[in-house]
Amino acid sequence: MKRIVSIILAAAMLCTAALAFTSCGGSGDNKDAKKELHMATNAFFEPYEYYEGKEVVGIDAEIAKAICDKLGYELVIDDMDFDSIITAVTSGKADFGMAGMTVTDERKKSVDFTDSYTTATQVIIVPEKDAKVTDSKTLETATIGVQLGTTGDLYVSDLKKAKIERFNKGGDAVLALAQGKVDAVVIDNEPAKAFVKANKGLKILDEPFADEDYAICLAKGSELTEEINGALKELKDDGTVQKIVDKYINK
């Protein structure tokens, strides 16, 4: 009798051990075990972040994915107004913001930035024909469309004689331009190219408006900044970042 009991006990123990083993051993494909990192972005900014069907793709989305893969996190992309990204990050709703976001001293007062992963310029988009704005001088007295809260917004807000129309999406500013409601749009160079391609009768002026660095923003003092900088450095050094940029921007 005693032997039977101990055999049953031993078997039970083996089973428990086996169960515990399979539930641990299976963790390779158990996604729930990975910590999620939420990226705040505004996904109407081709080629950095934009929708392909229901999925957000683009340079930022791919670099963020590569960083998360390297660090063992699961990337979750949260699309919102550009103007809300910094608040999402400072309030802890998002772990980081990545949105073709330019490093500025003003933003540095509320968030930390990683090292820059790419550069950009601000350009002026105007109608192909009979443009009222032909350079940064004629821009000074024009009606200008910008995306709310962007550096484009910031720069033209200094032009005291200009009238500024602010839109939640860069594309809406460009649409207003195509409809003749504004004289020009100031926006980042690569999205400008994508917008001009998508709307007939517009062109980009040759004279760039400002040079900028894009970086990822995080809550002040976040421990993630160092981690992300480490991964970013590796991805820059091994050519991954350049490969992703080249995939979306044909130079």
Interface with ligand ARG (CB under 6 A): 41-42, 45, 49, 82, 99-102, 147, 150-151, 170, 188, 212
45 vs 96, beta carbon nearer ligand ARG: 45
**Residue 9: in which H helix or E strand, if any?**
helix 2-25
Cα–Cα distance measured from residue 89 to residue 85, given in angstroms and rounded to the nearest whole number: 6
31 vs 177, beta carbon nearer ligand ARG: 177
183 vs 188, beta carbon nearer ligand ARG: 188
Q: Tokens 């981690």 label which residue?
A: 227
Cα–Cα distance measured from residue 81 to residue 40, given in angstroms and rounded to the nearest whole number: 9
Output the smallest distance, CB 161 to ligand ARG, in A.
23
Output the smallest distance, CB 145 to ligand ARG, in A.
13
Output the smallest distance, CB 123 to ligand ARG, in A.
11
Q: What are the tokens at 236? A: 């820059």
74-79 vs 36-41, strand pairing mode: parallel
Cα–Cα distance measured from residue 168 to residue 170, given in angstroms and rounded to the nearest whole number: 7
For the chain, the first-to-last Cα distance in angstroms comes to 82
Output the smallest distance, CB 39 to ligand ARG, in A.
11
147 vs 222, beta carbon nearer ligand ARG: 147
β-pair partners for 202: 127
99 vs 218, beta carbon nearer ligand ARG: 99
Report how far apart, in Å, the C-alpha atoms of 129 and of each of 178, 183, 199 are: 11, 11, 14
114 vs 147, beta carbon nearer ligand ARG: 147
Output the smallest distance, CB 14 to ligand ARG, in A.
56
Output the smallest distance, CB 104 to ligand ARG, in A.
7
Strands (E), 72-157: 74-79, 96-97, 111-113, 118-127, 143-147
Cα–Cα distance measured from residue 35 to residue 95, given in angstroms and rounded to the nearest whole number: 11
45 vs 73, beta carbon nearer ligand ARG: 45
How many other CB atoms are there within 10 angstroms of residue 128's CB atom?
A: 10
The values of phi and psi at residue 177, to 5°, are -65, -45
